[in-house]
Structures are given as C-alpha cells and as structure tokens.
Structure 1
Amino acid sequence: MRVIAGTAKGRALKAVPGMNTRPTTDKVKEAIFSMIGPYFDGGRALDLFAGTGGLGIEALSRGMEHAVFVDLERQSIEVIKRNVEAARVAERAEIYRNEAGRALKVLEKRAATFSLIFLDPPYKMKEMDILMQELADRGLLEAGGTVVVEHDADHQYPETTGAFEQTKHALYGDTAVTIYRYRPIEEGGRTQTEE
C-alpha cells in the first residue's frame, strides 16, 4: 500500500496485522479519487472506519486541509499514527479510538463539519445509509459534501436516501464503491448548493 498522488505520493503505508482489517487496494483507492477529486482545495475529511488510515491520508496528500480518523481497534490506531507520520501529514490529522456512533456524538458536540466522509466499514455492516442519515441529523456534513461508501459488491445501496443522492457506483471484483452527494433542502425548496 502506498500514497498514490499529491504531496505524499509514493510513501509506503503499513497494514494492520492480522485478517480483521481489509485495506482499500491501491487500484480501488485510485478509482475513488478519480471519481471525487482527484485533488482538493482545502476542506475537512472524516475517515470513520479508518483501518490503516489510507483513504484519509490520500485525501490529505491531495489537498484536504484536515482529517479526522476514527477506529475502534487499538492496533488500527497505532498503525494510523505511524502512517500519518510516514506521510508527513500528522499535524493535519486527529486520531481517535472510538466506536463510530459514539464518535459522531463527540464530533457533533464539537460542532465539527466535513466536506468529505469515508465509510469503509467491515463488509458485514450493511447499514451505511442509516449512518449517513445520522451524519446529516447531527449536522456533520456540509451542504454539497461527498460521502464515499465502500462495501461488499453483493450489497446494493439506494439511489437516494434522505437528502443524499447517489452520483457514482462502481464494482471492483468483490468490492463496490457508492458515492453520494449531500443536498439538503433549505426553506423555499431550493438546495443550498449549486453544482
């Protein structure tokens, strides 16, 4: 695994030992960023089931200003800390060991908002559409923000859910990537964002 593009291009990233974490392959990571970027002019990212931190680190390398990494596993947190150091983005990263739902409550209390959110949970978790609604309800996603869901290719997420509209869906072997744009409606029925 490596950082594919940007300021940390080519830097090697460590994997989490054991079989519990399934890092996003370089091929899938490259495809994701070609769909959502490929580069960014600032903004804040949330890598919620961070694993190795590869997606959030790639976003920082490509121009995101700040990223928050959350994972429940102690080993993952240690690997993320090493990886952000290796990619020289540690000063723009916050790393927390927490369960996803509890992490969202903490972030809401801090009035954190994000323009890009990565949801790459264990494939047995198939309720990312419910989690996306919680992100919206807690005010964590900026209008026009992007949510990237990486999931089992056998599972299909809806084209629209709440104020989220699917913009891309792609299959890579047994992995699927579904990308949503958040389009909340403001009073008067107009969306808060322009394309």
Structure 2
Amino acid sequence: MRIISGKYRGKKLITPRGLETRPTLDRIRESIFNIISQRIANARVLDLFAGTGALGLEALSRNAGFATFVDNSREACTVINKNIALLQFEHCTTVIQHDLTRAGTLARIRPKKFDLVFMDPPYRKGLIDAVLENSEFIDLLADNALVVCEHGAQENPGINISKLDITDQRKYGKTQITFLTLNNAELIL
C-alpha cells in the first residue's frame, strides 16, 4: 500500500498484520481521487473506519488542510499514528479510537464541519447505514460536503437519509463506491 499522488507520491504505508483491516485497493483509491480532485485542496477530511488511514493520508498528500481519523481498533489507530508520523502530518491530524456505532461517538469529533468524508467499513455489516442514520452525522457536514462510501458491490446500503442525495455510484469488480451530498448542495465532482 502506498500514497498514489501528491507530495508523498510513492511513499509506502504501514499496514496492520492479519486480515481484520481491508485497505482500499490502489486502483480504486486512484479512481476515487480522480473523481473528487476538485474538492481536495484545503478540505477538512473525516476518514471513518479508517483502517490504515490511506484515504485521509492520500487527501493530505494532495493538499487537504486537515484530517480526522476514526477507527475502533487499537491496532489500526496505532498504524494510523505511525503512518501520520512517517509522512510528518502530526500538525494537521487527529486520531480517535472509538466505535462509530455507539451513541455519542460522532458528537466527540472535532472540528465539527467536514468538507470530505470517507467511509470504508467492513462489508455486509450495515455500518454505513448505522452512521448515516445517526442524527449527529449530518451535523458534521459542511454545506457542500461530499461523502464517499465504499461497500460491497452486492450490498445496497439503505442510504435513505432525507438530507443526503446519491450523486454518483461506481462499480469496481466486487467493490462499489457511492458518492453522497447534502440535498440541494452544489454538485462539484
């Protein structure tokens, strides 16, 4: 696993041992970042179910302004912190170890408004819906925020939140990427 583009292009990232963390494939990550390239500069990024932190770190390498990483695994948070130190992003990052499905987790996340949110939870566990249905989630989004959800191509997350619209979906083999914005938000992809 490596940073694909930007200031730290080609830099290898540390990954946790075992199969518990399933990092986004480089080619999928590259496709996502090609699609959202107009939204990255100075963005406040929230990387949920962060794993290695690859999505948020890629955004920082491409000039995002700040990133908050959230994962419930202690080992994943340790790896994220090591990757942050490797890329010298300590000044513009926060790492939170917490279970996103538990009440009150989203209220703890600061800063409060994010421009870009990545969600890459374990597949087939309903975790995207659990976060999106949490009333605190919408409060984390800036007016023109983009939410990028990675899930199994066979999954069809409910994503029936009245304040969010699906603006695009892309399929990459067994993986699907769903892009969401607030209703009536200016669409910039």
What is the TM-score normalised by the length of structure 1?
0.86
- The 2-side partners of 1:105 and 1:83 are apart by 26
- The 1-side partners of 2:59 and 2:135 are apart by 19
Question: Aligned with 1:17: secondary structure?
Answer: coil
Deviates more, 1:117-126 or 1:153-162: 153-162
Match of 1:123 in 2: 123
Question: Aligned with 2:10: secondary structure?
Answer: coil
Match of 1:162 in 2: 162
- Whether contact under 8 Å (1:47, 1:56) holds in the other structure is yes
How far off its partner does 1:38 sit?
5.4
Amino acid of the residue matched to residue 134 of structure 2? E
The 1:13–1:143 alpha-carbon spacing in structure 2 relative to 1, beyond 3 Å, is same
> Of the two, which has the highest radius of gyration?
1
Match of 2:54 in 1: 54
Root-mean-square deviation over aligned CA pairs:
2.0
Give the ranges of 4+ consecutive aligned residues of structure 1 lying more than 3 Å apart after TM superposition. 135-138, 157-161
**Could you list the per-position Cα deviations for residues 75-96 of structure 1 after superposition, in whole angstroms to 9, with x for gaps in the alignment?**
1011101111122222111011
Match of 2:181 in 1: 181
How far off its partner does 1:161 sit?
3.2
Match of 1:43 in 2: 43
- The 1-side partners of 2:87 and 2:135 are apart by 28
Match of 1:104 in 2: 106
Identity over aligned pairs, percent? 34
How far off its partner does 1:126 sit?
2.2
What is the TM-score normalised by the length of structure 2?
0.89
- Whether contact under 8 Å (2:131, 2:137) holds in the other structure is no
* Gaps in structure 1 of 5+ consecutive residues: 184-190
Pairs within 5 Å for 1:67-106: 67-101=67-101, 102-106=104-108
- The 2-side partners of 1:114 and 1:69 are apart by 12
Equivalent pairs, count:
185
Match of 1:132 in 2: 132
The 1:111–1:23 alpha-carbon spacing in structure 2 relative to 1, beyond 3 Å, is closer
